[in-house]
């Protein structure tokens, strides 16, 4: 029996994780659930999974949640940053699924590592912002970080039984998003509802826009560099619209191992929370004879400069990856509010990165300052 904390329980990853737990009640016990504002769904999750502790965004939401629960159903309810940190380091948990969106995942990740908790990491921004610090702290505390991002789970799965030193190349696949075939002149006419319509994966709004801009892949390049200790030059991004091959690892003897499956997050989540065991998930296999061929193409970086931002951020290091991430969060937020158009997202990220005075070998406080700086600058560009 594993005792599991889920931070971000009402989002797409959190809901999928709870559906896995519901399928395997003999293997998991939910100790903590943390969400932000979706109190109605959270209250249902509490009634079903009976966590010991629950965290929400603020006091108002905490009171609302309390009013939805009978006295005898109420776990300990906390709120805010302190609450999330307590949730991440909760003493009775074996593993923490970190599935909060954006930079908000950073401090809970640090707290979980400090408390010596293994992490199933769905929040890629944490490694993008502070990968060096996170990885070295995790090593120090003997904490394992299991990837939940489907591509990184694929790489992790391909590496099982192999030696890291034999790894030569990573083929990081990307669906290409809904605008792969659009010409750059059409980009300014892209509407929010089209951007929110992802062709293969069902995800939250932020990551869906990130997929449309390929910023999701940009963040994943940096995430992979940290998780697998890679030279960025060894990563090749391949557009693979069918999303059947979730990524591939090339070894020094010329072998390539691919991890495949239908696009369903439950595979990666279950592998992360139950490693090294595989769970029965009742997922279908792809029907290869009806797919007929698997298609791959080079990404067009003149249309989608995000990948160049990522390689530049990797090359420069320091606080630049955190700045790239923060500028993207602000740009996406404003696109979701329909305050800027689609190509503006790239302009804002590029300009903010250009304006940044990079700090090398940053402390955590430098990274947090750079994040705040980048948010202010990118907002002022809108
Ligand atoms: Mg992914």
Q: Is the pTM of this model over 0.85?
A: yes
Residue that is last in its domain, among 147, 178, 206: 147
Q: Say if residue 159 is in the same domain as residue 281.
A: yes
Residues 104, 183: Cα–Cα separation, whole Å: 35
Q: Say if residue 138 is in the same domain as residue 192.
A: no
C-alpha angle 229-132-248 in degrees, rounded to nearest 5:
30
115 CA from centroid of ligand 1 (Å): 27
Q: Say if residue 74 is in the same domain as residue 192.
A: no
Q: Say if residue 204 is in the same domain as residue 284.
A: yes
59 CA from centroid of ligand 1 (Å): 33
Q: What integer pLDDT is reported at residue 289 of this predicted model?
A: 95
Domain count, the chain: 2
Is 366 within a domain? no
Q: What integer pLDDT is reported at residue 201 of this predicted model?
A: 72
Domain containing residue 182 = 152-316
Q: Say if residue 158 is in the same domain as residue 268.
A: yes
Q: Say if residue 220 is in the same domain as residue 114.
A: no
Residues 176, 181: Cα–Cα separation, whole Å: 9
pLDDT tier at 101 (50, 70, 90 boundaries)? confident
| pLDDT exceeds cutoff 90 at 171 | yes
Q: Say if residue 128 is in the same domain as residue 61.
A: yes
Is 345 within a domain? no
Q: What integer pLDDT is reported at residue 102 of this predicted model?
A: 83
133 CA from centroid of ligand 1 (Å): 22
Q: Say if residue 183 is in the same domain as residue 135.
A: no
pLDDT tens, residue by residue, 250-308: 999 999 999 999 999 999 999 999 999 999 999 999 999 999 999 999 999 999 999 99
Longest dimension (CA), the chain: 62
173 CA from centroid of ligand 1 (Å): 9
Question: Under the phi-then-psi rule, with left for phi > 0, alpha for psi from -120 to 50, and beta for the rest, what region is 282?
Answer: left
151 CA from centroid of ligand 1 (Å): 5
Residues 89, 200: Cα–Cα separation, whole Å: 35
Is 305 within a domain? yes
Residues 196, 193: Cα–Cα separation, whole Å: 5
63 CA from centroid of ligand 1 (Å): 35
Q: Say if residue 40 is in the same domain as residue 177.
A: no
217 CA from centroid of ligand 1 (Å): 7
Q: Say if residue 45 is in the same domain as residue 77.
A: yes
147 closest CA partner among 267, 18, 260 = 267
Is 355 within a domain? no
pLDDT tier at 204 (50, 70, 90 boundaries)? confident
Is 271 within a domain? yes
Is 179 within a domain? yes
Residue that is last in its domain, among 316, 347, 364: 316
Q: What are phi and psi of 32, to 5 degrees?
A: -135, 140
C-alpha atoms less than 13 angstroms from C-alpha of 365 in its C-beta half-sphere: 0
243 CA from centroid of ligand 1 (Å): 10
Taking residues 124-148, what's their average pLDDT?
96
Q: Say if residue 298 is in the same domain as residue 171.
A: yes
Residue that is last in its domain, among 271, 300, 316: 316
Q: Say if residue 186 is in the same domain as residue 252.
A: yes
Residues 131, 85: Cα–Cα separation, whole Å: 19
336 CA from centroid of ligand 1 (Å): 20
CATH of the domain at 108: 3.40.50.720
Mean pLDDT value across the chain: 96
| pLDDT exceeds cutoff 80 at 200 | no
C-alpha angle 121-126-127 in degrees, rounded to nearest 5:
85
């Amino acid at each position: 029996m594993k005792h599991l904390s889920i931070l971000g329980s009402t989002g797409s990853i959190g809901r999928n994780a709870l559906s896995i737990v519901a399928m395997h009640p003999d293997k998991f016990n939910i100790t903590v659930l943390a969400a932000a504002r979706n109190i109605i769904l959270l209250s249902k999750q509490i009634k079903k999974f009976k966590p010991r502790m629950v965290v929400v965004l603020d006091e108002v939401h905490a009171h609302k949640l309390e009013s939805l629960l009978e006295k005898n159903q109420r776990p300990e309810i906390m709120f805010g940053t302190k609450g999330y940190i307590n949730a991440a380091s909760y003493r009775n948990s074996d593993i923490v699924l970190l599935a909060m969106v954006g930079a908000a995942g950073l401090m809970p990740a640090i707290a979980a590592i400090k408390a010596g908790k293994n992490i199933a990491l769905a929040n890629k921004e944490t490694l993008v912002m502070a990968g060096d610090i996170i990885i070295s702290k995790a090593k120090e505390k003997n904490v394992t970080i299991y990837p939940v991002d489907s591509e990184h789970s694929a790489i992790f799965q391909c590496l099982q039984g192999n030696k890291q030193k034999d790894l030569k190349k990573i083929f990081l696949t990307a669906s290409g998003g809904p605008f792969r075939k659009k010409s750059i002149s059409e980009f300014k006419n892209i509407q929010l509802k089209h951007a929110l319509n992802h062709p293969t994966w069902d995800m939250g709004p932020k990551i869906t826009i990130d997929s449309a801009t390929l910023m999701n892949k940009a963040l994943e390049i940096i995430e992979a560099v940290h998780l697998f200790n890679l030279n960025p030059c060894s990563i090749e991004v391949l557009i693979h619209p069918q999303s059947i091959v979730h990524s591939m690892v090339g070894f020094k003897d010329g072998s390539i191992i691919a991890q495949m499956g239908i696009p369903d997050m439950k595979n990666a989540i279950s592998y992360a929370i139950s490693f090294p065991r595989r769970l029965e998930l009742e997922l279908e296999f792809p029907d290869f004879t009806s797919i007929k061929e698997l298609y791959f193409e080079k990404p067009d970086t003149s249309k989608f400069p995000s990948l160049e931002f990522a390689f530049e951020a990797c090359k420069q290091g320091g606080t630049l990856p955190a700045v790239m991430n923060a500028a993207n969060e602000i740009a996406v937020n404003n696109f979701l509010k329909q305050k800027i158009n689609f190509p503006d997202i790239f302009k804002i990220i590029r300009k903010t990165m250009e304006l940044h005075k990079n700090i090398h070998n940053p402390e955590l406080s430098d990274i947090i300052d750079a994040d705040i700086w980048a948010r202010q600058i990118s907002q002022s560009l809108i």
